[in-house]
Chains A and B, each alone.
Chain A
Amino acid sequence: MTAPVGLLTLQGDYDKHRQAFAALGRETRGVRRPGELAEVSCLVIPGGESTTLSRLIDRVGLRGPLREFAASHPVMGTCAGLIMMSRELDGETPGDFGVRPLGLLDCTVRRNGYGRQIDSFTADVDISALAGRGDKFPAVFIRAPRIVAAGPNAEVVATHGNEPVAVRSGHLLGLTFHPELTSDLRIHRAFLDLLDRA
């Protein structure tokens, strides 16, 4: 019996991820404290506000434990989750707004890279590198970050136009959009495949 899928439940739309995994028949468990990481097989860092997530991660002492966990367990970040997983933020002085990424994925990300809320959009993106051949994925971008550079250790696994919108590095996956806001479960399934392969 595998341990449940972990959801970082400090803040954000983690309940939407819970629903997606439930639709795939997988149990989830919330993680808000370092000790709770021992009870889950993998972790999703949901969408939310990256400044809030960053502060709460530090306040509760999750920074080190999260990095340790990610060394040997699959982690998926969506939107703010990707911001937290990135190596570096573009156009910000470190510590400026106090968002300190965890440095798990070799990419540079610009927060609110497409503009404000009125610029939020849906676009069909190519996810064949992630989920095999099939239809494009209806990706919802909400005040989304932009991947401005993907390093040699990050494989681009989804693109919108010519731009990367998802990167993977081994068992770590980061997306600028929100698969949890659509009923298409292919990306959640692909993440579980990383778990089953690990």
Chain B
Amino acid sequence: MESPRNDQELQERFRHKVGLAEMLKGGVIMDVTNAEQAKIAEEAGAVAVMALERIPSDIRKMGGIARMSNPGMIREIQQAVSIPVMAKVRIGHFAEAQILEALGVDFIDESEVLTPADNQNHIYKHDFKVPFVCGCRNLGEALRRIGEGAAMMRTKGEAGSGDIVEAVTHMREVTEGIRRLQMMRTDELMAEAKRLGAPYHVLVETAELGKLPVPNFAAGGVATPADAALMMQLGAESVFVGSGIFASEDPAPRAKAIVDAVTYHDDPARLMEVSMTLGEAMKGRAVNEMAENEKMAGRGW
């Protein structure tokens, strides 16, 4: 961790971080728990892997405190593949992030899937050279995280559920929020920033671009090629698949099919083809049958 010396250095550093996020567009980032799974993911065409000790659906089952994974386990995965390796830290746990930066991971996910370490504050991400991705449920949350220095956003969805409904809700919230910004007069943007609790300069930039200033990916509940295609058509620029691959019956072909589904997300004939021969998807749990305290999306703000 090394704070940028001046504004110019901060901006240049931020450009490198967002630059890597740009390279991951149109791809699939897969959760893996060991080197063997990481190789399956790479072989299937994943653009990156997320190294963690347990996939979210198992974190749900196990209970207890979910923390950053063991650095030794992450290093094994770094050595096994040539694609970027991401890893998760608890919300607000900047010391875990320092360790992952020292390990040379390519992206850090400040993730609600782990047990939060801070009830008030997220990590100040501009202080790091390694880029961060954060989850969001709506535009205000996305803009706050970008204000702190997140170089990539993703929907929170409901991790480990295998239920796509929350990812859809969150993606629609973000895109609808942006459409509303675009219809506003300049003199209305400050009031909207106040209403959303969002940093004004990031909100203005978003209004001008008509999209978030950093890539916006989908996560939380993707289990099938059709789920991936749905999220891409709703405006996601890439897709994270957590439990959906390695909690299914047929990880390798499913991983490959989801990669193809992202590339050809607007081609129903191709989607049909890649979906045809797959086995059972992960069983999953409907989000509307979960108790409030079982849901992960409410962690962070």
How would residues 124 to 167 of chain A score, 1 for a CB under 8 Å from any chain B CB and 0 otherwise?
00000000000000001011000000000000000000000000
Could you mark each residue 247-274 of chain B with 1 if its beta carbon is under 8 Å from any beta carbon of chain A, else 0?
A: 0000000000001101110000000000
Chain B CB within 8 A of A12 CB: yes
- Chain B residues in 8 Å Cβ range of A98: 43
Answer whether residue B149 sits at the interface, using C-beta atoms and an 8 A cutoff. no
CB distance from B89 to the nearest CB of A (A): 16
**Chain A residues bordering chain B, tally (CB within 8 A):** 36
Q: Tell me the bound Cα distance from A118 to B26 in angstroms.
A: 22
Task: Tell me the smallest distance from the CB of A139 to a CB of chain B, in Å.
Answer: 12
Q: Is A55 a contact of B19 with CB atoms below 8 Å? A: no
What bracket does the count of chain B residues touching chain A fall in? 20 to 34
Query: Does A80 touch B at the CB level, under 8 Å?
Result: yes
Tell me the complex Cα distance, A116–B131, Å.
12
Query: In the complex the two chains form, is A142's CB within 8 Å of B42's CB?
Result: no
Task: Decide if B27 touches A59 in the complex (CB within 8 Å).
Answer: no
Which residues from B are CB-within-8-Å of A122? 12, 15-16
Q: Hey, which chain B residues are within 8 Å of A13, CB to CB?
A: 22-23, 25
Q: Does A100 contact B (CB under 8 A)?
A: no
In contact, B107 and A117 (Cβ under 8 angstroms): yes
Knowing A48-B27, A97-B42, say if A116 contacts B104 (CB, 8 Å).
yes
Chain A positions within 8 Å of B171 at CB level: none
Shortest Cβ gap from A46 to chain B (Å): 9
- A49 to B131 CA separation, bound complex (whole angstroms): 17
A11 touches B26 (CB 8 A): yes
Q: Which of B20, B26, B83 contacts A142 (CB 8 A)?
A: B20
Q: Are A14 and B19 in contact (CB under 8 A)?
A: no
Cα-based distance from A140 to B19 in the complex (angstroms): 8
Assess whether A55 is in contact with B45, with CB atoms less than 8 Å apart. yes
- Whole-angstrom distance from the CB of B46 to the nearest CB of chain A? 7
Binary per-residue interface labels of chain A (48-67) against chain B in the complex, 1 for a CB within 8 Å, 0 otherwise: 11011001100100000000
Q: Name A92's closest neighbour in chain B (CB-CB).
A: B82
Q: Is the CB of B47 within 8 A of A49?
A: yes
Whether the pair B43, A10 counts as a contact (CB closer than 8 A) is: no
Instruction: Tell whether, in the assembled complex, residue B259 and residue A56 are in contact, meaning their CB atoms are under 8 Å apart.
Output: yes
Q: Pick 24 A–B contacts, CB within 8 A, sort by A.
A: A9-B263, A10-B26, A11-B26, A12-B25, A13-B22, A14-B25, A48-B23, A49-B24, A49-B84, A52-B47, A56-B263, A111-B82, A112-B82, A116-B104, A117-B84, A117-B106, A117-B130, A118-B130, A120-B16, A122-B16, A142-B19, A143-B84, A181-B15, A181-B19
Known contacts A117-B16, A117-B104; 17 additional CB pairs below 8 A are: A12-B23, A12-B25, A32-B263, A48-B25, A48-B26, A49-B23, A52-B45, A56-B259, A117-B20, A117-B84, A117-B107, A117-B130, A118-B104, A118-B129, A143-B20, A143-B106, A181-B22
Closest 9 pairs between A and B when the two form their complex, measured CB to CB: A117-B106, A13-B22, A120-B16, A55-B45, A11-B26, A142-B19, A49-B47, A116-B104, A118-B129
Q: Which positions in B face A, CB cutoff 8 Å?
A: 12, 15-16, 19-20, 22-27, 42-48, 81-84, 101, 104, 106-107, 129-131, 259-260, 262-264
